[in-house]
Amino acid sequence: MKEELRVLIKAQYPIIYLVTSEESRAQQAIVRIAEADAKKRVYAWTMTHGLRAVHEQEPANQSYSTSSSTMSPQMAIQAVIRDRDPSVYLFKDLHPFLDSPEVVRWLRDAIFALKNTDKSIILMSPVQKIPLELEKDIVVLDFPMPGMAELEEVLRQHQSTAVERQLPEDSQEKLVKATLGLTVDEAEKVYRKARVTNGKLTEAEVDIVLSEKKQLIRRNGILEFMEVDETFQSVGGLEALKYWLQQRANAFSEKARSYGLPQPKGMLLLGVPGCGKSLIAKTTSRLWGLPLLRLDMGRVYDGSTVGRSEANLRNALKTAESISPTILFIDEMDKAFAGGAGSADSDGGTSSRIFGSFLTWMQEKQSSVFVMATANRVDRLPGEFLRKGRFDEIFFVDLPNQKEREQIFEIHLSKRRDSTERFDIPELANVCEGFSGAEIEQAIIAAMYEAFAQNREFTQLDIIAASRATLPLSKTMTEQVAALRDWARQRARPAAASVAEYQRLEF
């Protein structure tokens, strides 16, 4: 991005819109570009202090004298137009004034006046807001988050003031990688927090860094940082799916890049509701050691302002990329994008635009964001989602077979009692033929409630009675389950290792 900004300034683009919340870092980069390549002066405007010259080492929030003659944006833009010297004019937080017809008109006048001159206006703001009148004349750039080199410099400067022993090189690398996605100021704060908390800076401060990233997610409001306490031992069956995920446990490492492996893009889990698709996402996060972010599509849609929903999605994806490597979890994608193909009549095309933006991002993303999506109704998914290139693999999670049901019973009974020897687990699994994992768990809970109400320990017969009183989803929605299996037989990979081909159950 910095190279592109340098090219745009040198190519005499009149107005550039720079989206960033890091004023000081962005200002220093702009000053270096202007002074090194074109020997231009840089002026910064704020509504509190007007227009004044700045230099590379000046902080963005420095207290300086006020230029009352240019405090209004209209007067500042007029001063830019009158100025004859080659310069770059940095307008900070001008977006609240872009609702004013007068300010927009002066910017249009400035575009005409600055053509073929060595003067450029940069509108710098954490919010992208471009009036319709200026859309054809403004170039929008996103200022990137600091990379490894910049964060290493922050850590080096922090350690240079410390009295304790310097961190080993491998520990420094782990700590710097953990801070990827934070701004320079956030990284500095988290290092100070670690020193205050533990008295010194160590590799163990990675947990403090992760807590800072959780705050970043909470501020976003659309993404949810999911706490993970489950392991693969909590998942019964699905051995083929587990093996596929274990093969990619180190897929985001530098060793994998050196080997020539591309970064995995994502996977789609199709299947019957209650068969462990969401649980797999949580256990994968634990296996890979990556944070798990849940994208709530319900929060993305916002009809309060035109374009707000699309902006919400862009911000959410940008936040996920900023803290990568990470897993982005989208539950029940069939409901989130069911109306994407033809939403012009229902919501003015908002769903279609969001759908298109998400598809483009999935296809072109270079960041280490692994998309893990689940769906129950494949007929509701647009065909564009299912083609190769969007996901690395599409898995079908079927109802558990006899052996898998035995494993599921063993897992859930072991969670609730120290010993399971008094239960005939093969018999229980046989009684619950056609049950999903969630339905098996609910049968055990129902049996426990029955015994608890009678002030006794629950037994094998209690579970059998609760199971026979339950009508599983495979019976209430036989046609839907059968249709899903027919589709998946030739189009998806089975998650269970023992399944060579899917066979229709007789209910």
CA angle 39, 30, 70 (to 5 degrees): 90
| Two tokens, residue 136 | 């054809």
Q: Which two tokens stand for residue 503?
A: 């066979």
Alpha-carbon distances of 119 from 12, 76, 126, 136, 142, rounded to whole Å: 7, 14, 23, 19, 21
Of 269, 275, 276, residue with least CA distance to 472: 275
pLDDT at 303: 58
Residue 66: per-residue pLDDT? 52
| DSSP string for 2-36 | HHHHHHHHHTT-SEEEEE-S-HHHHHHHHHHHHHH
**pTM, rounded to two decimals:** 0.68
Distance CA 443, CA 412 (A): 11
pLDDT truncated to tens, each residue of the chain (507 aa)? Answer: 678 888 888 888 999 999 888 888 899 889 988 877 667 889 999 999 899 888 644 555 454 455 668 889 999 999 999 998 889 999 999 999 999 999 999 999 999 999 888 899 999 998 888 898 998 889 999 888 887 788 888 888 777 665 555 666 666 777 777 777 778 888 888 777 777 766 565 555 566 676 667 776 776 677 888 877 777 788 888 888 889 999 988 888 778 888 888 888 889 888 888 888 888 888 888 888 788 888 887 777 765 555 667 777 887 888 788 777 888 998 888 777 765 555 444 555 677 778 888 888 888 888 888 999 888 877 777 777 777 777 888 898 888 889 989 999 999 999 898 888 899 999 999 999 989 889 999 999 999 999 999 999 999 999 999 999 988 888 888 888 888 888 888 788 888 876 544 444 433
pLDDT of residue 67: 61
Q: How far apart are CA 80 and CA 103, in angstroms?
A: 13
pLDDT of amino acid 166: 63
Q: Which residue has the tokens 């919010």?
A: 127
Question: What is the DSSP secondary-structure string of 262-278?
Answer: PPP-EEEEEE-TTSSHH
Strands (E), 126-265: 138-142, 223-226
Q: Which amino acid belongs to residue 151? A: L
Nearest alpha-carbon partner for 250 in 346, 267, 258: 258
| Residue 51: other Cβ atoms inside 10 A | 22
Helix axes 206-220, 308-322, angle to 10 degrees: 180
pLDDT at 167: 64
pLDDT at position 111, please?
Answer: 93
